[in-house]
Amino acid sequence: MTGWQDNIHFILVEPKEPGNIGASARALKNMGFSNLGIVNPPLLTDEAWWFAHNALDVLDRRQSFPDVRSAVADKAFVVGTTGRKGKKRGLILPIAQGIGKIKEYAQDGPVAILFGRESRGLYNEEVSECGLLVTIPANKEQPSLNLAQAVMIIAYELGKEAMAAQPRGKKAARVNHHRMDLVTHSEITLLYDRMTAVLQLLEYIPRGDRDLEKKIMSNLKYFIGRAGLTDWELNMLHGILSQIEKKLAASPQTVHEK
């Protein structure tokens, strides 16, 4: 595994079945990936090791995290997987389009792909950490996929992309450098907190309207999360926010003049 494939991190969120963890590790190795993370993992039983047949190295190197935010803190992009659709869930792409986006993101920095719980998937607050969501079309009579199956499908589709890209190594290398120094998700999260505070100072968000505040910030998160930010872009945005704060501090009455 080389190049952009090294930047793909498969994150299982609170899986309950050790067998699914082992089967996911096997799926990753089958398709040429090795970065497996688990949020709030269960105690691994022998079943996990049995299902990880010939992929024990992937299972051994797994990383554990207490929550989603810590799992994605050092990632430049976060992609979620979901079977549920809705406008409040942000941009949702079918797998055919989503795979291309994931590969594109992985050219620029580390990407986390989140897989939700076997029974309930990803919670809304976890979805809000994602720049976009990918869905796998399935029969309406049985749309829910097994966790390890979902991991295999995503890994397979990405693996196909990797194999197809191998003969074009020189072109891929050029594409790989079109961005520099993308900041981590934790750095962007601090920016979101500051943007919320400044929007409240400007009274762009009516005081006490938590629903509108959540909607506006969710849209900003999806927008920025899909694009990623360089160090320069992050510093520029913080500079703009600092200037707004200075102007408001110097003339607080101007906010209410109209």
Q: Please state, in angstroms and rounded to a whole number, the distance separating the CA atoms of residues 187 and 159.
A: 30
**Residue 53 corresponds to which amino acid?**
H
**Sequence spans of domains, the chain:** 3-175, 185-256
From 48, 35, 34, select the one nearest 74 (Cα to Cα): 35
32 burial (CB, 10 Å; 0-12 / 13-18 / 19+) is: middle
Show pLDDT as tens, one digit a residue, over the chain (258 residues).
557 899 999 999 999 999 999 999 999 999 999 999 999 999 999 999 999 999 999 999 999 999 999 999 999 999 999 877 665 556 788 898 899 889 988 988 899 999 999 988 999 889 988 988 999 888 888 878 899 999 999 999 998 866 665 554 444 444 444 445 678 878 888 888 888 888 888 877 777 677 777 777 777 877 777 777 888 787 888 888 888 888 887 775 554 544
Are 213 and 205 within 8 A, CB to CB?
yes
139 burial (CB, 10 Å; 0-12 / 13-18 / 19+) is: exposed
> What pLDDT shows up at residue 75?
93
- Beta pairing, strands 77-81 & 36-39: unpaired
> What pLDDT shows up at residue 221?
76
> What pLDDT shows up at residue 18?
95
- Whole-model pTM: value is 0.74
> What pLDDT shows up at residue 258?
43
Q: CATH: 3.40.50.10860, 3.30.530.20, 2.70.150.10, 3.40.1280.10. Which one for 3-175?
A: 3.40.1280.10
> What pLDDT shows up at residue 79?
94
